[in-house]
Amino acid sequence: MSSLTQAGPAVSAGPAPSPARKRRGSGRKWAEIGLFSGPAILVYIGFVFLPVALAAYYSFFNWNGLGPLERFIGFDNYTRVLTDPVFHTALRNNFFVVGASLLVQGPLAIGVALLLNRKMKGRGLVRLLIFIPYILSEVIAGVAFKLILQAPAGGSYGPFDTVLNAVGLGELRQLWLADQKVVMWTIFAILTWKYLGFAIIIMLAGLQGVPEELSEAAAIDGAGWWQTQRYITIPLLGPTIRVWAFLSIIGSLQLFDMVWIMTGGGPANSTHTMATYMVLFGLNRQQVGFGSAVAVILFIISLVIALLYQRFALRRDLEGSLTGREG
Amino acid sequence: MARNRKGAIAASMAAVALLVAACSGSGGSTDDPTDPTAAPGDGTSETSDAPAEQTITWWHNATGEPLVSFWAQVGQEFADANPGVTVDVQSFQNEELQRTLIPNALLSGDAPDLFQQWGAGELAAQVAAGHVKDISADVADEIAALGAVANPWQLDGKTYGLPYTFGISGFWYNTELFAQAGITSTPKTLDELYAAIDKLKTAGITPIAVGAGDGWPAAHYWYHFALKSCSPEVLQQAQAELVFDDPCFVKAGELLGEFIASEPFNEGYLATSAQQGAGSSAGLVATGKAAMELMGHWNPGVMGGILTEEAGEDVSPPEWLGWFNFPGIDGAAGDPNAVLGGGDGFSVHADAPPATVDLLKYILSDDVQARFAEAASSIPTAPGAADAVTDPNLQLVLEGLQNATYVQLWLDTAYGPTVGGAMNDAIVNFFGGSGTPQDIVDAIKASVETL
């Protein structure tokens, strides 16, 4: 069985530096590097590094975005952000989405992917249907759900409430988008509907890298379906799960479109995320310096989480955890 | 292989060169001397008889028909009458235009020549940054004709824009639902309004729709109560100096608290938008699902637009629509004849071609104003066009404006986006059940500190 594991780890195949290349002239090497990565570095500096640096600079000013940068106020903008209860709500909402996505979407996606990985009738159709919400524009999905979840008015209910009532679940009716206790869950449910397809496709791709021989060997050893999944498939799916979790965390931290379209941060500022908070209180309220401070804080939080995750979770994959015994 | 690489290098170099060229090519303004569309005499002479080539970019906030076509037509008419002038008319969604597009355009230096202007607080920031042209001398006749409604577009005695429509806020109501609930006359006092709300509820009708999801529609209630509680002097001082120490502002919140406690609003109003589709507050009234809405003079046009979208064909505003002014409050300290209102105007950019001011004057001409009143079912500002207001409800609104002894601009517009936004937030929170009347005033004061 150990010989099979060596043949299998297609998912974790890392690029090995080719020793032959090193013998070429180093000047030529640098010219090649400059030529091929130069345009990318220019774009990176122009559209990533420079905006971040400018935002950091603006964040020390009280600036409405129109006149000259004159009123230097030190860290006052940061103090204001960090003491604003609405920002606390936004931060809480971001981490709620991060946690709920990992705990709900992850297991759900793995489960569905395992089911779909078997040969069955209509598998292609089911995969397609599950992936469709991901293809839809977030704005279109947001507007559609806003209409579907409309609050009752003048004695008539919105489409979703009407359906609930028709199947005898009328008791469960809520003010889906207007009740401050319910609305974050509503948004999370829609995000799950939208992004589950993406998670499932990633997991299915990961499952392609799990060699069938292992399952066959396990079957010969007398393992049942559940045991095969539990002890062979899911551990080998680890790198895929960790990459998906990384994408999910970063996406959740930067969540903007769905919230902006569906609630605009309301009702009563209860559904803001850091990104919607930044746009509303920075741009729309003409406090560009303040908004820049929010942007810097969002950047630092995302950066720290990304680095920690790379350091503690993804590092194992980069080193090749599946072939760890040999390496 | 080597030859291939050379080819690749050449291709990459070409790509980089293109990228650099593309980057350096952007950001050119209409003042760019190499720009063929810029007028030769840009910003130098006001009376150039020679037909110099001028392109006027005009941004407005109309997104529904027939107004979009109407403005496009006005631009075309002006271009036809002035050889050498081209008018590029572009329409944008109101909030996008106000909060994002115009500030960004002004900052980037590539701004439109004639653009939507809401006046007061926002205008002051733009003027301070040197983006807006002082047109006092050019439009002296128009200013004289318009009178007090031009005030929000003026600053320190200078005029930086002109309103083409101005109206006041009041209750738009469904006369049929009122009759059904047994309400025989429109409420003149707050107590009569409370009685009407009770009758509507008894009849199983949602009394009031409010689009608190958008903030300002809910905030307008507080504005009205402030108008009834505060004297015009206090309100003027608040607008000029952003001082909110008078206890009347707390009183406004207390009156609002009593009003909310009577539970007159549609279910889930915290998430209701004001103008978008049948589920919005305007849509609820237009489709007969709520009896009234406190809203500006544009509401019949908005309702007509929503009904048109729903039906897929041109529908005029509902015939059963009625209007009454915000009721008076017995014993309140404010001026009983004070009204709350606002309008839409246009400003001329500091670097705009000279013909831009003439275009603004054309927009304010009696002829265009009269046609605007018909096209938009709205209220023009030029007195010569007042006869074009034939809708009986708009005549009531106009009458209310003409009889007013004090006209207060929407408070959020008056105080500017920073203070206005914080004020609206605090009021919506209060609608949502958190905070006290004092908290609203505290939030306003705190935001003034951050200016």
Domain map (residue ranges) of chain B = 54-167+342-397, 168-341+401-449
Same CATH topology for B54-167+342-397 and B168-341+401-449: the answer is yes
Chain B residues whose beta carbon lies within 8 Å of the beta carbon of residue A66: 103, 106-107, 125-126, 128-129, 131
- Looking at the predicted structure, is the pLDDT value of residue B200 above 90? yes
Q: Is B103 close to A286, i.e. CB distance below 8 A?
A: yes
What integer best gives the mean pLDDT of chain A? Answer: 86
- Looking at the predicted structure, is the pLDDT value of residue B3 above 60? no
How far is it, in rounded angstroms, from Cα A29 to Cα A49?
Answer: 25
How far is it, in rounded angstroms, from Cα A45 to Cα B150?
Answer: 48
Q: Is B450 close to A287, i.e. CB distance below 8 A?
A: yes
- The residue ranking higher by pLDDT, B288 or B67, is B288
Chain A residues whose beta carbon lies within 8 Å of the beta carbon of residue B125: 64, 66-67, 286
Residue B179 CA: distances (Å) to CA of A307, B176, B184, B195, B199: 67, 5, 7, 14, 10
Query: Which tens digit of pLDDT belongs to each residue from B117-138?
Result: 988 888 988 998 889 999 999 9
From the candidates B18, B285, B425, B427, which should be mutated to test the interface with A, based on the most A CB atoms within 10 A?
Answer: B425
* Residue A126 per-residue DSSP state: H
Token pair of B61 as six digits: 């906030």
Angle at B24 (CA atoms; ends B23, B27), nearest 5 degrees: 90
Query: Which tens digit of pLDDT belongs to each residue from A87-108?
Result: 999 999 999 999 999 999 999 9
Question: What ipTM does the predicted assembly reach?
Answer: 0.77
Q: Determine the distance in angstroms separating the CA of B287 from the nearest CA of chain A, rounded to an integer.
A: 9
Query: Which tens digit of pLDDT belongs to each residue from B295-323?
Result: 998 888 888 888 888 887 777 778 899 99
Query: Which tens digit of pLDDT belongs to each residue from B246-278?
Result: 999 999 999 999 999 999 999 989 989 888 888
Burial class for B237, CB neighbours closer than 10 Å (0-12, 13-18, 19+): middle
For residue A66, give the nearest of B106, B428, B434 by CB distance: B106
Q: Which residue has the tokens 């950019």?
A: B349
Q: Determine the distance in angstroms separating the CA of A196 from the nearest CA of chain B, rounded to an integer.
A: 26
Chain A residues whose beta carbon lies within 8 Å of the beta carbon of residue B451: 62
Query: Which tens digit of pLDDT belongs to each residue from B344-378?
Result: 999 999 999 989 999 999 999 989 999 998 887 78
The structural architecture, per CATH, of the domain B54-167+342-397 is 3-Layer(aba) Sandwich (3.40)
For residue A39, give the nearest of B19, B268, B422 by CB distance: B19
Q: Residue A151, Cα to own-chain centre: how many angstroms?
A: 29
What values do phi and psi take at A210, rounded to 5? Answer: -90, 115
pLDDT of residue A22: 53
For residue A180, give the nearest of B131, B432, B450 by CB distance: B432
How far is it, in rounded angstroms, from Cα A61 to Cα A43?
Answer: 27
Q: Determine the distance in angstroms separating the CA of B268 from the nearest CA of chain A, rounded to an integer.
A: 5
Q: Is the torsion defined by CA of A253, A257, A259, A265 positive or negative?
A: positive
Q: What are the start-end ranges of the E strands in A13-99?
A: none
The maximal CA–CA distance of chain B, rounded, in angstroms, is: 94
Q: Are strands B85-91 and B54-60 parallel, antiparallel or unpaired?
A: parallel
3-state secondary structure of B312: coil
Tell me the domains of chain A and their CATH numbers: 35-139+174-323 (1.10.3720.10)
Chain A residues whose beta carbon lies within 8 Å of the beta carbon of residue B418: 64, 285-287
Cβ atoms A208, A116 nearer than 8 A: no
How far is it, in rounded angstroms, from Cα A38 to Cα A49?
Answer: 15
- Looking at the predicted structure, is the pLDDT value of residue B27 above 80? no
Q: Is A35 close to B125, i.e. CB distance below 8 A?
A: no
- Closest residue in A to B419 (Cα) is A285
Q: Determine the distance in angstroms separating the CA of B205 from the nearest CA of chain A, rounded to an integer.
A: 7
Q: Is A67 close to B289, i.e. CB distance below 8 A?
A: no
Cβ atoms B160, B133 nearer than 8 A: yes
pLDDT of residue B406: 86
Section B77-86 average pLDDT: 91
Q: Determine the distance in angstroms separating the CA of A152 from the nearest CA of chain B, rounded to an integer.
A: 7
- Closest residue in B to A38 (Cα) is B16
Q: Determine the distance in angstroms separating the CA of B405 from the nearest CA of chain A, rounded to an integer.
A: 32
Chain A residues whose beta carbon lies within 8 Å of the beta carbon of residue B213: 263-264, 266-267
For residue B434, give the nearest of A155, A268, A283 by CB distance: A268
Q: Is A267 close to B103, i.e. CB distance below 8 A?
A: no
The residue type of B392 is P
Res. B9 pLDDT band, cuts 50 70 90: very low
pLDDT of residue A318: 66
Query: Which tens digit of pLDDT belongs to each residue from A139-165?
Result: 999 999 998 998 887 667 888 999 998
Token pair of B82 as six digits: 């002035």
**Residue among A178, A203, A236 at smallest CA distance from A9:** A236
Chain A residues whose beta carbon lies within 8 Å of the beta carbon of residue B15: 39
Cβ atoms B266, B206 nearer than 8 A: yes
Q: Determine the distance in angstroms separating the CA of A155 from the nearest CA of chain B, rounded to an integer.
A: 8
Res. B24 pLDDT band, cuts 50 70 90: very low
Tell me the Cα Rg of chain B.
Answer: 25
Token pair of B402 as six digits: 């003409």
**Residue among B286, B321, B294 at smallest CA distance from B392:** B321
Cis peptide before B437 (omega within 30 of 0): no
Q: Determine the distance in angstroms separating the CA of B364 from the nearest CA of chain A, rounded to an integer.
A: 28
Chain A residues whose beta carbon lies within 8 Å of the beta carbon of residue B266: 151, 153
pLDDT of residue A12: 46
* Residue B55 per-residue DSSP state: E
How far is it, in rounded angstroms, from Cα A259 to Cα A252?
Answer: 11
- Looking at the predicted structure, is the pLDDT value of residue A203 above 90? yes
Residue B99 CA: distances (Å) to CA of B102, B116, B189, B212: 7, 12, 37, 19
Q: Determine the distance in angstroms separating the CA of A261 from the nearest CA of chain B, rounded to an integer.
A: 11
pLDDT of residue A21: 52
Section B146-166 average pLDDT: 88
SS3 content of chain B, % helix, strand, coil (to 5): 50, 15, 35
For residue B125, give the nearest of A64, A264, A284 by CB distance: A64
Q: Which residues of A touch B (CB under 8 A)?
A: 35-36, 38-39, 42, 46, 62, 64-68, 80, 146-147, 150-156, 158, 175, 177-180, 183, 263-264, 266-269, 280-281, 283-287, 290
CATH number, span B168-341+401-449: 3.40.190.10
Q: Is B16 close to A39, i.e. CB distance below 8 A?
A: yes
Res. A320 pLDDT band, cuts 50 70 90: low
The residue type of B378 is S
From the candidates B269, B270, B419, which should be mutated to test the interface with A, based on the most A CB atoms within 10 A?
Answer: B270
Chain B residues whose beta carbon lies within 8 Å of the beta carbon of residue A293: none
- Closest residue in A to B215 (Cα) is A268
Cβ atoms A312, A319 nearer than 8 A: no
Res. B47 pLDDT band, cuts 50 70 90: very low
A269: left (phi over 0), alpha (psi -120 to 50) or beta: left
The residue type of B18 is L
How far is it, in rounded angstroms, from Cα B103 to Cα B109?
Answer: 10
pLDDT of residue B332: 82
Residue B434's contacts (CB-CB under 8 Å, 6 or more residues apart) are A268
Q: Is A153 close to B289, i.e. CB distance below 8 A?
A: yes
Res. B51 pLDDT band, cuts 50 70 90: low
Q: Is A178 close to B272, i.e. CB distance below 8 A?
A: yes
For residue A268, give the nearest of B266, B417, B429 by CB distance: B429
- Closest residue in A to B273 (Cα) is A263
- The residue ranking higher by pLDDT, B72 or B309, is B72
Q: What is the residue-wise DSSP string for B241-280?
A: H----STHHHHHHHHHHHHHHT--BPTTGGG--SSSSTTS
How far is it, in rounded angstroms, from Cα A186 to Cα A266?
Answer: 13
Chain B residues whose beta carbon lies within 8 Å of the beta carbon of residue A62: 450-451
Token pair of A117 as six digits: 């990985």
How far is it, in rounded angstroms, from Cα B99 to Cα B89?
Answer: 19
Q: Provide the angle, in degrees to the nearest 10, between the axes of the packed helices A85-100 and A183-208.
A: 40
Q: Determine the distance in angstroms separating the CA of A173 from the nearest CA of chain B, rounded to an integer.
A: 12
